[in-house]
Structure 1
């Protein structure tokens, strides 16, 4: 049986911190959406933890997706 070690609020807070970092990098042109996609599909090669992966995915979605 797995035991929850972190609250959903704490997890979301850490994801949001990473998302903000990636959003700034994408917005400034330092990170392209194409490269962000490559990083997400090869996260092991980039040595990313779950919070970085989720933050990048959230930032990517903010640029790629519409609210509809």
Structure 2
């Protein structure tokens, strides 16, 4: 159950990250990366690790976008 919840959090976060790829909306990742990390923590409490891994990939994508934009863009 926690694995499914973690995967859903990751999916919603990934969908919300789509506009954050556009220029001048990259600061949205400051909100979305911690949400993905909360999803990874919830997935860590599960016996399976698919949802956790998905959330970590989503968080890494958001962090990479922040790094490429200099933290603001």
Same fold (TM over 0.5): no
TM-score, with normalisation over the residues of structure 2? Answer: 0.40
1 or 2, which has the higher helix percentage?
A: 2
Radius of gyration: which is bigger?
1
TM-score, with normalisation over the residues of structure 1? Answer: 0.41
